[in-house]
Amino acid sequence: MHKNNIIHRDLKPDNLLIKKGAGLEHSVPFILDFNTSVRSELMSSFGGTEHYLPPEVRSGKRTEAVVADDLWALATLIGEMFLGVGQKVAKGAVPQQCLVSPLPEALLEVLIKALAPDPMARFLTADEFQKAIEAVLIPTKLEKKLGLIGLDELSCARKSSERIRNLIIDELSGDNELPIPKDVRERVAVIYSSISEENTRSFDIKDDIVHLGPRAIPAVLENAYKVHQESKDYDDIVIALVGLAYKDLKLLERSISYYCMSSSFSVRSMCRTLCGRVGIFPEALFELLRQDNGLLLANERAELADLCIRYSKDPSAILALSTYMGAHPLLL
């Protein structure tokens, strides 16, 4: 927010919403109510909630909105989460009884600095504040000797678990099915459902899909019939799939081969669009063209012929295509 020159000036519990967004495994905080925000520092603002404003603002010494206002409010919020509302952040402070783990003394020191009376003694940027908090979460060498799990170990464990799970899915799916994890399929369904709820959407569809990773490619193609081809959402979906294709081109080719014979024109169209964007022409597409079973419209056959000429790596495909085109003058 600050990197985009926006100062909220009224961060407080009422203006935070914890929500799980489309394509996310965990909940994230959304900041609400920007009525008192300003676009840059040193603009006067008389908004805000007194309890969450720094002392220099409450005393009237400063009316301009600066980054320090949001950082003070954030530190106050974090202190309240650990200590309770109305409890002073200070050495020896007693944490809330509902906390499962004890309050790290180092975190308390970070909050004491963030809430220092002197503005210059505090953290000056959100990045600086964030790094100080994250440093507290990383276990010390002694803690590691005691067998406590750190952030790096947790991250490694999650990646290993994901890799094993994907191997199992691949093995069970076989050659004639596409490996789509159940949770990925469900998240893709949520993303597509948000297309019809544009006014309430909180996430960017393109980012949502990219966040899911290459495993989302077949699920996204499968649901392409739910979006209009002339819409921006359709373009964003294609851009996201192209980005994922560079991470797993084989899965994209398998997905196109599987869905190119879909009864949905939109799904078939997205398959062809992706071929043109990535520069591929799976063999299944030529078989679809050669069989000519009445599924394709004339413009679709013409588009497939063009893609075959441009991107097919099979030397015999062009000769076969020429023979096919001779029997179908509409393609000439």
Q: Write down the pLDDT at residue 42.
A: 59
- What mean pLDDT is reported for the chain? 80
What local confidence, expressed as pLDDT, does residue 12 receive? 92
In the predicted structure, residue 148 carries a pLDDT above the cut 60: no
Q: What is the mean pLDDT of residues 144-156?
A: 58
When pLDDT is cut at 50, 70 and 90, the band that residue 332 belongs to is very low
CB 329 within 8 A of CB 297: no
Cα 45 to Cα 2, 42, 115, distances in angstroms: 16, 9, 21
For 227-246, the pLDDT digits (tens) are 888 888 889 999 999 999 98
Q: How far apart are the C-alpha atoms of 66 and 47, rounded to whole Å?
A: 12
Q: 127-144: per-residue pLDDT in tens?
A: 999 889 888 876 555 455
pTM for the structure as a whole: 0.50
Q: Given CATH 1.20.140.10, say whether it is the number of domain 2-137.
A: no
Calpha distance 209→185 (Å, rounded): 11
* DSSP codes, 77-123: HHHHHHH-TT----TTPPPPTT-SSPPPHHHHHHHHHHT-SSGGGS-
pLDDT at 202 over 60: no
Does 159 or 129 have the greater pLDDT score?
Answer: 129
pLDDT score recorded for residue 93: 84
The helix or strand, by DSSP H or E, that contains position 43, with its residue range, turns out to be strand 43-44
Q: Which amino acid is at 219?
A: A
Residue 74 structure tokens: 């954030």
Q: Which residues contact 186 (CB under 8 A, 6 or more apart)?
A: none
Better-predicted residue by pLDDT, 140 or 248: 248
Q: How far apart are CA 288 and CA 304, in angstroms?
A: 9
For residue 174, give every residue at least 6 positions away whose Cβ sits within 8 Å of its Cβ, in sequence order, or none. none
The pLDDT value recorded for residue 242 is 93
Residue 146, pLDDT score = 53
- Provide CB contacts within 8 A for 19, sequence distance 6+: 27, 28, 30, 202
pLDDT (tens digit, 9 = 90+) per residue, 77-100?
A: 999 988 888 888 988 888 888 877
Task: Give the model's pLDDT for residue 70.
Answer: 94
Every domain of the chain and the residues it spans: 2-137, 152-331
> If you ran DSSP here, which 8-state letter would residue 140 be given?
P
Band the pLDDT of 121: cuts 50, 70, 90: very high
Q: Determine the Cα–Cα distance for residues 211 and 191; give it in Å rounded to an integer.
A: 12
Percent of the chain with pLDDT over 90: 23
Q: What phi, psi does 64 have (nearest 5°)?
A: -70, 140
CA distance 278 to 311: 10
